[in-house]
A and B are shown apart, each in its own frame.
Chain A
């Protein structure tokens, strides 16, 4: 039965990790603005960096 103690301790640890993640999310401002991130995810991260080069080459 002693293993239950270990399991419970472990489950609590996992739960605490999630609580920690929630704290991090709140503190980093993820709950401040619920609207903009939904728009932001539609953007490409690096719009043209590679294509830019080919273009300048073409121009030369």
Chain B
């Protein structure tokens, strides 16, 4: 049987994604990623291929390019113990974060691993979180084989140092759902049983029995609502009162108790039907608000530290043998091997002749540093190019990088929370309600003492701030959703108020406002012919240096020439030859070294940006000037902030090279600081706190981690949601950074909406009070007023946030 699926060659045969940019081909079929291709191959191998065909290709091996050594550390029992979630006899369960999960087929394959390795019993994927939970039989396979299998099929688990922490028990928020379910169930049934009362059907007196029957049922149904669904409000209200404070839960608790007590009394004494329908409905709506407010982004992590950045294992050299060991078992004096693009796990001393290290994430320096033998290497640096051999000089937890986390900003676990608007007005609200209730009690004691108690409780019932309590969660819930649609992901709803209070902005430079894909490359010198351009392109393509990559991208040459010689000297340049042509590219010093006759004085040194000089066959031809690219729309963003009277600062770990360009881009910087260490950044931001300003830090790397933490509102810029970003209050998609001012405005607008809906809900309270004080609050009036006010607040807040968002130009639907 031949495959009947005909898919355009532009899309992946496996998952249908566009294959324009990357293309993997396997037997005349194209794939979007290695994963898809491997899946296809494995499907063939294992006869699992119902998607395409049943053709078997015996002899096709899956790609097995992984080094056997890499996962050796997984044999370590201590590591196993910490990675494995639970173990029962020989069955073990383990969860991995796999960044490459991206399509339906990924889920399918990972849940069918048992067909490939019979030791694996079950796989469960969580697509949003990009995790897979695997249950495997330890007598048939082991952790290492499982991880190797995943890696072989293109789904390498993301294993970082923080996975070695002790596991917290998975606190899933299931209880809230259960509470909501119980409240909804009781609400509906009590409404049903109260129906005869609404229609006054029971007045014939024919069956006193029914009244007691329904009353009893209502009490029975209301009890679980009070003691299960609503208990959190009572607890929180009580906690606030016992600390002599008042939060919004205090008036809620008073209302709940008044409703429940009065209803219980009425039914037991036979004087009325009670307000149990209002009571349960009230709790039900409150819980819906809570569900909306609890909205989080499962796929994002907002509280990472260096441990989520450093690798979990490292290759150690021992008696000339390579072995992989967990990073936390590294000892001072160990020799380790770090390959291209791998991270240095701990401070160490270089034992290789010369290496290049990219510190951009750690210090903010945009260009790699070249280190020679015996020099100090800091943890977190990324090795570029040649493999480096290092001797560990400090343990992981004592490295330079980790010092930052010893600062007091990280010590306090409590969030510095600005008390929310709702909590601020609660005391006034509560005292007013109690005042009105007591006043009407006194007045009615004069007029008609028998009704005074009823009026008193009616006031407490009707003043219950249900609508008030709903306006905050619903407004903030829809705000957080709209912001997320636009690429700005908040940690939770409570940070929105902090966001709107921001008056000072502190930007990091490298990676935050610069965009490595946006570098401006210009060639200055004699013009180059086509062949020379092709030679340059092929040379730059193979060099690891970021400048080379930027130049290669700007040349737009597709044709590759065959090199006959290629040698890269880290930090200096490249020598390459193409048949008879010799080519030198690199720093001016490097070119001078190679062509001693060159008159260097003729070349202007006073240029902005970085330069890469080139020479063909001992003839100097000119240089490429690479200016750091800034993010699109940055200029407009900074001007907008300036116009709204916010202070704008820049902190950079880099040197002052770009200062002029930055002033050209935006002349009104309040302050610009260069060569800032992570600790400098932290203290700079802290100094604002003392002067009473509310700074927002916008950064991306670990070097900003301290400043992000110390600021009122920390925003991490990320190119890729699943990649590492330090602890912060919000993560912003780098594409969305240019709309940051709009997001600030929107957050202020949503606070205004909350205030407007407070007014609206207070109006309901006043109307209700009118009924209550005059003694007309029948259960029917309460049962109409309460849901009406709640639902109208929900509708008002949800609609008005969307209207406002639409007005200021934000997307309101995904």
Q: Closest chain B residue to A1 by CB distance? A: B207
Complex partner residue of A26 from B181, B189, B213, CB under 8 angstroms = B181
Q: A4–B192 Cα gap in the complex (Å)?
A: 13
Q: Is B50 an interface residue (CB 8 A)?
A: yes
Task: Note all chain B residues with C-beta closer than 8 A to A12.
Answer: 189, 217
Size class of A's contact patch? 20 to 34
Q: Identify which of residues 8-60 in chain A touch chain B, using a CB-to-CB cut-off of 8 Å.
A: 8, 12, 15, 18-19, 22-23, 26-27, 29, 31-36, 39-40, 42-44, 47-48, 51-52, 55, 59
A47 touching B54, Cβ below 8 Å: no
Q: A35–B112 Cα gap in the complex (Å)?
A: 18
Known: A12-B189, A15-B185, A26-B177. A40 touches B126 (CB 8 A): no
Task: Note all chain A residues with C-beta closer than 8 A to B129.
Answer: 33
Q: Is A5 an interface residue (CB 8 A)?
A: yes
Q: Is B405 an interface residue (CB 8 A)?
A: no
Task: Note all chain B residues with C-beta closer than 8 A to A51.
Answer: 47, 50, 54
Q: Closest chain B residue to A49 by CB distance? A: B47
Write the nearest CB–CB distance from B686 to chain A, whole angstroms.
39
Q: How many residue-residue contacts, CB under 8 A, span A and B?
A: 72
Q: Is B48 an interface residue (CB 8 A)?
A: yes
Q: Is B558 an interface residue (CB 8 A)?
A: no
B107 touching A48, Cβ below 8 Å: no
Task: Note all chain A residues with C-beta closer than 8 A to B104.
Answer: 39, 42
Q: Identify which of residues 473-496 in chain B touch chain A, using a CB-to-CB cut-off of 8 Å.
A: none
Write the nearest CB–CB distance from A46 to chain B, whole angstroms.
10
A26 touching B56, Cβ below 8 Å: no
A47 touching B112, Cβ below 8 Å: yes
Q: Is B68 an interface residue (CB 8 A)?
A: no
Q: Is B239 an interface residue (CB 8 A)?
A: no
Known: A29-B172, A55-B47, A55-B54. A23 touches B128 (CB 8 A): no
A19 touching B185, Cβ below 8 Å: yes
Task: Note all chain A residues with C-beta closer than 8 A to B128.
Answer: 33-36
Write the nearest CB–CB distance from B344 to chain A, whole angstroms.
37
A33 touching B127, Cβ below 8 Å: yes
Task: Note all chain B residues with C-beta closer than 8 A to A15.
Answer: 185, 188-189
Write the nearest CB–CB distance from A38 to chain B, whole angstroms.
9
Q: A32–B176 Cα gap in the complex (Å)?
A: 12
Write the nearest CB–CB distance from B300 to chain A, whole angstroms.
14
Known: A5-B213, A32-B174. A39 touches B127 (CB 8 A): yes
Q: Is B808 an interface residue (CB 8 A)?
A: no
Q: A15–B48 Cα gap in the complex (Å)?
A: 44
Complex partner residue of A52 from B47, B178, B181, CB under 8 angstroms = B47
Complex partner residue of A32 from B50, B172, B213, CB under 8 angstroms = B172
Task: Note all chain A residues with C-beta closer than 8 A to B210.
Answer: 1, 4
Q: Is B392 an interface residue (CB 8 A)?
A: no
Q: Identify which of residues 55-110 in chain B touch chain A, using a CB-to-CB cut-off of 8 Å.
A: 56, 104, 107-108
Q: A4–B172 Cα gap in the complex (Å)?
A: 42
Known: A55-B47, A55-B56. A40 touches B111 (CB 8 A): yes
Write the nearest CB–CB distance from B189 to chain A, whole angstroms.
6
Q: A27–B112 Cα gap in the complex (Å)?
A: 25
Task: Note all chain B residues with C-beta closer than 8 A to A27.
Answer: 174
Q: Is B727 an interface residue (CB 8 A)?
A: no
Complex partner residue of B174 from A19, A26, A47, CB under 8 angstroms = A26
Task: Note all chain A residues with C-beta closer than 8 A to B146.
Answer: none
A36 touching B54, Cβ below 8 Å: no
Task: Note all chain A residues with C-beta closer than 8 A to B126.
Answer: 32-33, 35-36
Task: Note all chain A residues with C-beta closer than 8 A to B112.
Answer: 47
Task: Note all chain A residues with C-beta closer than 8 A to B812.
Answer: none
Task: Note all chain A residues with C-beta closer than 8 A to B50.
Answer: 44, 47-48, 51
Q: A54–B19 Cα gap in the complex (Å)?
A: 35
Q: Is B182 an interface residue (CB 8 A)?
A: yes
Write the nearest CB–CB distance from A22 to chain B, whole angstroms.
5
Known: A5-B213, A26-B177, A31-B174. A19 touches B182 (CB 8 A): yes
Task: Note all chain A residues with C-beta closer than 8 A to B193.
Answer: 8
Task: Provide the B102-133 mask, 1 if CB < 8 A to any CB of A, else 0.
Answer: 00100110011001000000000111110000
Write the nearest CB–CB distance from A25 to chain B, whole angstroms.
9
Q: A52–B48 Cα gap in the complex (Å)?
A: 9
Q: Closest chain B residue to A42 by CB distance? A: B104
B172 touching A59, Cβ below 8 Å: no
Write the nearest CB–CB distance from B113 to chain A, whole angstroms.
13
Q: Closest chain B residue to A56 by CB distance? A: B47
Known: A1-B207, A36-B127. A31 touches B56 (CB 8 A): no
Task: Note all chain B residues with C-beta closer than 8 A to A1.
Answer: 207, 210
Q: A44–B172 Cα gap in the complex (Å)?
A: 29
Q: Closest chain B residue to A32 by CB distance? A: B172
Task: Note all chain B residues with C-beta closer than 8 A to A34.
Answer: 128
B127 touching A35, Cβ below 8 Å: yes
Complex partner residue of A36 from B107, B182, B185, CB under 8 angstroms = B107
Write the nearest CB–CB distance from A24 to chain B, whole angstroms.
11
Task: Note all chain A residues with C-beta closer than 8 A to B181.
Answer: 19, 22-23, 26
Task: Note all chain B residues with C-beta closer than 8 A to A32.
Answer: 126, 172, 174
Q: A9–B349 Cα gap in the complex (Å)?
A: 79
Q: Identify which of residues 38-61 in chain B touch chain A, using a CB-to-CB cut-off of 8 Å.
A: 47-50, 54, 56
Q: A26–B185 Cα gap in the complex (Å)?
A: 15
Write the nearest CB–CB distance from A43 to chain B, whole angstroms.
5
Write the nearest CB–CB distance from B175 to chain A, whole angstroms.
9
Q: A54–B671 Cα gap in the complex (Å)?
A: 75
Q: Identify which of residues 174-215 in chain B touch chain A, using a CB-to-CB cut-off of 8 Å.
A: 174, 177-178, 181-182, 185, 188-189, 193, 207, 210, 213
Q: A43–B207 Cα gap in the complex (Å)?
A: 58
Q: A34–B498 Cα gap in the complex (Å)?
A: 30
Q: A33–B127 Cα gap in the complex (Å)?
A: 8
Residue from B111, B181, B207, B210 having most chain A Cβ neighbours under 10 A: B181
B177 touching A31, Cβ below 8 Å: yes
Q: Closest chain B residue to A28 by CB distance? A: B174
Write the nearest CB–CB distance from B172 to chain A, whole angstroms.
6
Task: Note all chain A residues with C-beta closer than 8 A to B217.
Answer: 8, 12
B178 touching A26, Cβ below 8 Å: yes
Known: A31-B177, A43-B108, A52-B47. A36 touches B125 (CB 8 A): yes
A47 touching B48, Cβ below 8 Å: yes
Write the nearest CB–CB distance from B413 to chain A, whole angstroms.
26
Q: A33–B125 Cα gap in the complex (Å)?
A: 9
Residue from A23, A29, A32, A55 having most chain B Cβ neighbours under 10 A: A32
Q: Identify which of residues 228-266 in chain B touch chain A, using a CB-to-CB cut-off of 8 Å.
A: none
Write the nearest CB–CB distance from B246 to chain A, whole angstroms.
33
Can you name 13 A-B residue pairings with CB atoms under 8 Å? A8-B217, A12-B189, A15-B188, A22-B181, A26-B178, A26-B181, A32-B126, A40-B107, A43-B108, A47-B50, A47-B115, A48-B48, A48-B54
Residues of A in contact with B (beta carbons under 8 Å apart):
1, 4-5, 8, 12, 15, 18-19, 22-23, 26-27, 29, 31-36, 39-40, 42-44, 47-48, 51-52, 55, 59
- 5 smallest A-B Cβ distances: which pairs? A36-B127, A35-B128, A47-B50, A35-B127, A22-B181
Residues of B in contact with A (beta carbons under 8 Å apart):
47-50, 54, 56, 104, 107-108, 111-112, 115, 125-129, 172, 174, 177-178, 181-182, 185, 188-189, 193, 207, 210, 213, 217
Contacts A29-B174, A32-B172, A35-B126 known; list 16 others, CB within 8 Å: A1-B207, A4-B210, A23-B181, A26-B178, A31-B177, A33-B127, A33-B129, A34-B128, A35-B127, A36-B127, A36-B128, A39-B104, A39-B107, A40-B111, A48-B50, A51-B54
